[in-house]
Chain A
Amino acid sequence: MLRQSWWKILCIVLLLITFIAGFLGNVPAKPILNETIRNLYFHVSMWFCMMIFFTVSLVYSIKFLRSNKMVHDWYALAFAQSGIMFGVLGLLTGMIWAGYTWGKPWSNDPKQIGAAIALLIYFAYLVLRNSLTDDMRKAKTSAVYNVFAYAMLFPTIWIIPRMVESLHPGGMGNPALNTDDIDGRMRMIFWPAAIPGWTLLGIWITTLRIRLKMLEEHKLNTQSR
Chain B
Amino acid sequence: MSKFITLLVFTFLTVLLYAQDGPKNEPVQMADFMRSNGKIYVVVAVVVTILVGLFVYLVSVDRKISKLEKGSKV
Query: Using a CB–CB distance below 8 Å, which chain A residues touch chain B?
Result: 3, 8, 12, 15-16, 19-20, 23-24, 27-31, 34-35, 183-185, 187-188, 191-192, 204-205, 208, 211-212, 214-215, 218-219, 222
**A19 contact set on B, CB distance < 8 A:** 44, 47-48, 51
Show 29 A/B contacts (Cβ-Cβ < 8 Å), sorted by A. Answer: A8-B59, A16-B48, A16-B51, A19-B44, A19-B47, A19-B48, A20-B44, A20-B48, A23-B40, A23-B44, A23-B47, A24-B41, A29-B27, A30-B28, A34-B29, A34-B30, A34-B31, A184-B16, A185-B18, A188-B15, A205-B58, A208-B58, A211-B65, A211-B69, A211-B74, A215-B65, A215-B68, A218-B72, A219-B72
Number of interface residues of B (CB under 8 A): 30
Minimum C-beta distance from B72 to chain A (A): 5
B7 CB-CB contact with A under 8 Å: no
B12 CB-CB contact with A under 8 Å: yes
- Please classify the interface of chain A as helix (H, G, I), strand (E, B), loop, or mixed, using the class held by over half of its residues: helix
Minimum C-beta distance from A42 to chain B (A): 10
Is there an interface contact between A23 and B43, defined as CB atoms closer than 8 Å?
Answer: yes
**B69 contact set on A, CB distance < 8 A:** 211, 215
For B27, give the chain A residue with the smallest CB separation. Answer: A29
A15 touching B51 in the complex, CB below 8 Å, given contacts A184-B18, A215-B68, A215-B74: yes
> How far apart sit A19 and B47, CA to CA, in the bound complex (Å)?
7
